[in-house]
Amino acid sequence: MRTVPAIQRRGPAIDIAVVGGGMVGAAAALALSRAGFSTALLEARAPLEWQAQDDVDLRVVGLAPSSIELLDGLGVWTSIRKARACPYTHMHVWDAESGAAIDFDAADEGRDLLGYIVENNLVQWALWQALEPAGVQRLCPATVKDFEVRSDRIVLDLADQESLSVRLLVAADGAGSPLRQRAGIATHGHDYGQRAIVAHVTTERAHEGTAWQRFLPTGPLALLPLADGRSSVVWSLPEAEARRVQGLDEAAFLAELGLASDFRLGRIIASTPRAAFPLKLQLADTYQADRFVLLGDAAHAVHPLAGQGVNLGLRDVAELRDTLVAARDEGRDIAGAHILRRYARRRRSADTLDAYGFDALARIYAWQSMPLVTARGFGVRLLDRLTPLKRRIAAHAAGH
């Protein structure tokens, strides 16, 4: 971090700057502005406009009830739901090796649904459109070159030679977060040596509003229901196998995917072009520094098998908003070290528990020794019969 000019050519200091305009960053800026804080969102590139006539984005997210509640409170959920979102009421998870299965059903939990499968860019676009009407200063394109921490503010040095003075800097700039690195916050974790192949497929049978997940020795395969009747595939494979599957022609890919899914939805009839992304576990050693906090992927990156990455980020948003509102109502400095430690302690503890829980689940399902496979199958069958424990797991996934 280097010293930057004290002259503020964008006007007086504002309360909070959020850097990163993805789903979590945009939600944070909107939530903080609606909570009464003067807020700016800085993003290098504006999102592409979401249009109903476009094909479904390859990147989808399973929004948990806690995330839906947050988005509804921000006034954007109704437009997202009406645009293109698929509710799912059931989840079926089964083990390819032992055959053991576990089912989660919304009705068993006293709810109408377990969540919604929604395109990432639809959520981002809806949030992006709500920013300026809510009073958020939307600075785009904008890149933070450096920042200087002062006793009562942080001064951001922007790439356009201007500077911006804020009371609190929120980094939501992704897993590779340049701001986290500039703040001197280290991370730990490991690379899974896997890639997740994603595509949308047409299947012989209807998805039945169900999220299907099969654990294979090579990694989990998920078939998530889409609003247009297709299913979104998230297929985790070792690097070499992922490259091989990526290189298959469509007919061969459809055949292998059908086998991998145990033809649970019948034959796989057609597929969109495929994409792939690497998988890793990464946790920041701390979520806060002087007048600085981390949100979303900048704080934590987790295995996609539970579909909880964005939901964890949106829970970060709700926790940060509530913490800052409480501090303001008590007449405290919203960026005081003890205030930010409160947020960081709560969210890092919850995120760490979830991240390593997902990691342990991935490792358990990678067991191939027959005694261990047998033990795993016994455990899954037992869990499926333990209704109170299943309800606790479902409630935790829902964010409640």
State the DSSP string of 165-232: EEEEEEE---TT-HHHHHTT--EEEEEEEEEEEEEEEEESS--TTEEEEEEETTEEEEEEE-TTS-EE
pLDDT at residue 10 in the model: 41
Give the separation between CA 22 and CA 288, rounded to whole angstroms.
Answer: 20
pLDDT at residue 360 in the model: 67
pLDDT at residue 270 in the model: 97
- DSSP bridge partners of 154: 149, 166
pLDDT at residue 364 in the model: 63
Q: Which CATH number fits domain 14-56+132-188+282-362: 3.40.50.300, 3.40.50.2300, 3.50.50.60, 3.40.50.10860?
A: 3.50.50.60
Residue whose C-alpha is closest to residue 221's, from 195, 244, 193? 195
Q: Distance from CA of residue 377 to its chain's centroid?
A: 29
Residue whose C-alpha is closest to residue 156's, from 17, 288, 11? 17
Answer yes or no: are the C-beta atoms of 317 and 28 closer than 8 Å: yes
Domain segments of the chain as ranges:
14-56+132-188+282-362
- Determine the residue type at 236: S
Residue whose C-alpha is closest to residue 291's, from 11, 6, 13? 13
Answer yes or no: are the C-beta atoms of 339 and 324 closer than 8 Å: yes
Question: How confident is the model over 17-35, as pLDDT tens digits?
Answer: 999 999 999 999 999 999 9
pLDDT truncated to tens, each residue of the chain (400 aa)?
433 333 333 434 799 999 999 999 999 999 999 999 999 999 999 999 999 999 999 999 999 999 999 999 999 999 999 999 999 999 998 888 777 788 888 888 788 899 999 999 999 999 999 999 999 999 999 999 999 999 899 999 998 778 899 999 999 999 999 999 999 999 999 898 999 999 999 999 999 999 999 989 898 899 999 999 999 999 999 999 999 999 999 999 999 999 999 999 999 999 999 999 999 999 999 999 999 999 999 999 988 765 677 999 999 999 999 999 999 999 999 999 999 999 999 999 888 888 777 776 666 666 566 666 566 565 666 555 655 555 565 555 555 5
